């Protein structure tokens, strides 16, 4: 009897259940570690699942030498929606059937190992919090207590309950919404290996409501994902969804100061209004998000200080690093306003703090164009000395030199010509000779 009992358990599985870290729209993997417990005979095993359409197992069957070990890889095929129950699945099961053969014709010993499936991970934790499912949140945190900082600061029931993945979401939308920064990078880098254009396209993909991954990430407060998409993959930070809302508007509406700060630092345009003519500042004021209001107003303060040439105020604002890249409704930055007013010291300070001298307003004017328009020789010289393009063109093709001559600013025209500015006739002549 003791010998029979000794061989009843032929196989040991290190894991008590199949644990899957779920992420929508992507393959999810889990590994099981098997060990033969039979001291003399090989143990054959076969894996069965209650959901063969969802899972792939590698290898699905095999033979273990006496007391040998092996790894079994379980892959959940990409699923568009979260599991209906989690952490413990009510429908997904695995059965590992093990047996040994007998050369003497004795009954073949067999042994079954039953495993349940548990779905875990950051995406499901946030999903459970959004649903207000406190029980699921508690059970998920028991398994992965390190995920506690990912929970929203307000109660889980305060967030809207997403019934399903929004229509038109790609894997990038889902990763951005869940804050899966590493997963986001992996998806885009995989696309880039195939073709750089494909990665750029997926970073800008829109769902059924016209939302890009940047908008989704901003709306969920996923700052790292927002930065990854904008700074590395060139996603449009000022893109608008079907209702005209930008990423900045969504973050401002949520009172999310961290995401608002990040977007402003990356040069998001706070003047863009929705289809109902509401700006991010409007919605922040209406909802009483005072910290966000102050951040957005800082951009207006920088513009005002630059326009007035208030150096003390301007430097104080610039050192706070927010509002430097703000624009007004005409696309004018602080550098534009300082240049047209002839505040050469403010121009120099703004450039030192990283403002792009070649940024253009809605008509294509650079700061140098506007310094010429303002008739300030000293400001023009400051910009040229700091590397401004003397041959930059507006949307109508006007260069700073053309503007200076048309406005009768001969000293400015001579300065520009001495620094390499080319007249329109020379440019035309050069173009025609190069094509002949």
Domain ends where: 120, 151, 169? Answer: 120
Mean pLDDT to the nearest integer, 324-346? 87
Provide the pLDDT for residue 197.
63
> For residue 114, what are its two tokens?
């039953």
Provide the pLDDT for residue 434.
37
Summary mean pLDDT of the chain: 84
Is the distance from CB of 215 to CB of 221 less than 8 angstroms?
Answer: no
Mean pLDDT to the nearest integer, 117-128? 91
Q: Is residue 322 part of a domain?
A: no
Q: Is residue 132 part of a domain?
A: no
Mean pLDDT to the nearest integer, 259-281? 88
18-56 residue pLDDT tens: 999 999 988 999 999 999 999 988 999 999 999 999 999
Closest CA to 57 of 3, 117, 107, 126: 117
Q: Is residue 343 part of a domain?
A: yes
Q: Is residue 236 part of a domain?
A: no
Of the pLDDT bands very low, low, confident and very high (cuts 50, 70, 90), residue 191 is low
Is the distance from CB of 237 to CB of 266 less than 8 angstroms?
Answer: yes
Of the pLDDT bands very low, low, confident and very high (cuts 50, 70, 90), residue 245 is very high
For 285-328, the DSSP string reads HHTT-HHHHHHHHHHHHHHHHHHHT-HHHHHHHHTTTSSTT---
| CATH number of the domain bearing residue 104 | 2.60.40.10
Mean pLDDT to the nearest integer, 402-425? 90
214 burial via Cβ count (<10 Å: 0-12, 13-18, 19+)? buried
> For residue 306, what are its two tokens?
């630059």
Q: Is residue 274 part of a domain?
A: no
Domain ends where: 120, 136, 154? Answer: 120
CB atoms within 10 A of CB 279: 20
Is the distance from CB of 98 to CB of 44 less than 8 angstroms?
Answer: yes
Q: Which of 100-104, 158-162, 424-428 has the lowest mean pLDDT?
A: 158-162
Domain ends where: 120, 148, 182? Answer: 120
Q: At a CB cut-off of 8 Å and minimum separation 6, what does 97 contact?
A: 45, 46, 47, 48, 110, 111, 112
In the chain, the percentage of residues whose pLDDT exceeds 90 is: 52
415-435 residue pLDDT tens: 999 999 987 555 444 333 333
Alpha-carbon distance 394 to 401, whole Å?
A: 12
Domain that holds residue 397: 330-436
Q: Is 60 exceeded by the pLDDT of residue 175? A: yes
Q: Is 70 exceeded by the pLDDT of residue 104? A: no
Higher pLDDT, 128 or 427: 128
Is the distance from CB of 280 to CB of 299 less than 8 angstroms?
Answer: no
Provide the pLDDT for residue 1.
33
> Tokens 């548990």 map to which residue?
118
| CATH number of the domain bearing residue 334 | 1.25.40.20
Q: Is residue 433 part of a domain?
A: yes
Domain count for the chain: 2
Q: Is residue 104 part of a domain?
A: yes
> Tokens 């001298």 map to which residue?
357
Q: Is residue 402 part of a domain?
A: yes
């Amino acid at each position: 009897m003791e010998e029979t009992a000794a061989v009843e358990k032929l196989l040991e599985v290190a894991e008590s259940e199949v644990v899957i870290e779920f992420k929508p729209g992507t393959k999810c993997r889990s590994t099981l570690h098997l060990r033969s417990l039979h001291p003399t005979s090989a143990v054959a095993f076969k894996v069965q699942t209650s959901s063969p359409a969802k899972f792939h197992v590698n290898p699905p069957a095999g033979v273990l030498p006496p007391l040998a070990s092996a790894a079994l890889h379980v892959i959940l095929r990409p699923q568009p929606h979260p599991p209906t129950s989690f952490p413990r699945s009510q429908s997904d099961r695995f059965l590992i059937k093990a047996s040994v053969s007998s050369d003497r014709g004795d009954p073949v010993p067999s042994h079954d190992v039953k495993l349940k499936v548990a779905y875990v991970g950051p995406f499901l934790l946030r999903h459970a919090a959004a649903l207000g499912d406190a029980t699921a949140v508690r059970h998920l945190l028991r398994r992965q207590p390190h995920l506690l900082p990912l929970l929203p600061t307000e109660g889980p029931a305060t967030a809207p309950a997403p019934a399903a993945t929004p229509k038109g979401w790609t894997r990038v939308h889902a990763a951005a919404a869940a804050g899966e920064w590493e997963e986001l990078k992996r998806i885009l880098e995989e696309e880039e290996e195939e073709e750089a254009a494909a990665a750029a396209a997926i970073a800008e993909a829109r769902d059924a409501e016209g939302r890009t991954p940047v908008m989704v990430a901003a709306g969920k407060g996923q700052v790292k994902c927002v930065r990854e998409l904008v700074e590395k993959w060139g996603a449009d930070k000022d893109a608008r969804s079907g209702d005209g809302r930008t990423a900045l508007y969504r973050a401002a509406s949520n009172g999310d100061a961290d995401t608002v700060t990040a977007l402003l630092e990356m040069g998001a345009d706070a003047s863009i209004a929705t289809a109902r003519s509401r700006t991010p500042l409007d919605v922040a004021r209406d909802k009483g998000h005072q910290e966000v209001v102050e951040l957005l107003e800082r951009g207006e303060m920088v513009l005002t200080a630059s326009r007035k040439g208030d150096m003390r105020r301007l430097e104080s604002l610039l050192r706070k690093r927010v509002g430097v890249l703000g624009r007004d409704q005409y696309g004018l930055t602080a550098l534009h306003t300082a240049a047209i007013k002839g505040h050469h010291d403010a121009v120099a300070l703004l450039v030192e703090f990283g403002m792009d001298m070649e940024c253009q307003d809605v008509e294509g004017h650079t700061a140098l164009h506007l310094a010429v328009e303002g008739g300030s020789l000293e400001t023009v010289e400051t910009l040229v000395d700091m590397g401004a393009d003397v041959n930059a063109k507006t949307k109508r093709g006007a260069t700073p030199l053309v503007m200076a001559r048309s406005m009768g600013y001969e000293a400015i025209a001579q300065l520009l010509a001495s620094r390499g500015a080319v007249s329109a006739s020379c440019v035309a002549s050069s173009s025609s000779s190069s094509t002949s």
